[in-house]
Amino acid sequence: MAVLVETHPRYLDHDSGSGHPERPARLRAVLAGIESAGVADAVVTATPRTATRDELARIHPPAYLDALEAFCARGGGHLDPDTHAGVDSWEAACLAAGAGLDAVERLDRGEATAAFLAVRPPGHHATPERPMGFCLLNNVAVTAAALVDRGERVVVLDWDAHHGNGTQDAFYRDGRVLYVSMHQFPLYPGSGRLDETGAGDGAAATINFPFAAGTSGDAYLAAVDEVVAPAAEAHGATWWLVSAGFDAHRADPLTGLGLSAGDFADLTARVTDLAAPGRIIAFLEGGYDLEALAGSAGACVAGLAGELHRPEPSTSGPLGRDVVSAALMLRPG
C-alpha cells in the first residue's frame, strides 16, 4: 500500500519561541524516523497547498483569521504563555491547515491508500476563536469540516497525550463528526472528562478516554476494539482522521503516559484495518522527545503502509481498563 507523506520547508520557519519544545527539529526527527522505517518503496512524497480563507472559515470566524494574520504580519509574539507566533507563522499555519485538504484531493485521485502529514504548527488545541497549546489553526478540524460538507461521515481519533479541546469544541454539537480522544488526565488543557459526550445534534458523538499517568498501550487497544470500532460502525464512518501526537510515549518530557513506539505501530494497524483504503489521514500533533518521536512516527507510517515496524516492544499494564469500561457504559444502547 502506498502512503502519501506531505511536508513543506516553510513549516521550519514557524517561530514558536526560544527554547520551545515545539521546535523545527521535531520535523527533522519525524522524517528521519520515516526513512528508518524501511518502507521507502511505499512512500509517495508531496508538497501541500495553502488552505483558502473560505476553507479556514468553516472552522475559524473571519475576525479571528484577520486578527491572527495581522498579529503575525506585525512581527508576532506571545499569544498566551505557551503559544508564540512569528512573522512567518501565518503562512506556515495556512500550509499546515491546507495539508489535509490537499491529501483528501490526492487520495480521491488514487495517488495513495493513506496519508501522513508532517506539519507544524500543530492544531488540535486551537479552538474556533482562540490559539492555544502551541496551536494556531486547527488542521484536522479544517479537513473534517470540508469532508462533512460534501456528505462524508468522519471519525477524528486523537491519541495525543493532551486532550484536543479545540477539535472537540468545533464539533461538540455536530453529529456528522465522531470525535474520540485518548489522553492523560489530569493534564493540560484540563478538558476531556468521561462525561463530555456531545450535545444537541452531536449528543453521543464525542468519546473521551481520560487515562491516568502510566497507562500503557494495551488499554489504548482495548479502547479501540471495545468502544471506538463499534461506535465508528454505528456512525457510518467513511473517513478516518488521526490527530497523531506521539507525546504519550513514556520518554516524553511533557507527559506521563507509558506507551512505546511499538504501541503506535499496533494502534495504526488497528485503525488501518477499520478505515477503507484511501480514506485515512494522520496529522502530526505533539511529541517532544526527538528519539521517541522518530521511532513512533516511523512506526505509524509503516503501519499506514500495511507493514509492521515495531522499534520497541509494545507495552501492557494494570491501568486504563476501568476508563474503557466507563466509556463503554456511557454509549447509547
Active-site position among 8, 14, 84, 125:
125
- Crossing angle of the two packed helices 290-304 and 25-36, in degrees rounded to 10: 50
Structural contact between residues 110 and 123, judged by C-beta atoms closer than 8 angstroms? no
60 catalytic residue (yes or no): no
Q: Where are the alpha helices (DSSP H) in the chain?
A: 25-36, 53-56, 62-73, 89-108, 139-149, 165-171, 217-223, 229-235, 261-274, 290-304, 321-329
At 17, which amino acid appears? G
Render the burial of 216-238: b for 16+ CB within 10 Å, e for the rest: bbbbbbbbbebbbbebbeebebe
CA angle 155, 132, 33 (to 5 degrees): 60
Strands 3-6 and 83-85: unpaired
Q: What angle do CA 148, 135, 268 make, to 5 degrees?
A: 60
Asked if 101 contacts 115 with a C-beta cutoff of 8 angstroms, the reply is no
Catalytic amino acids?
Answer: 125
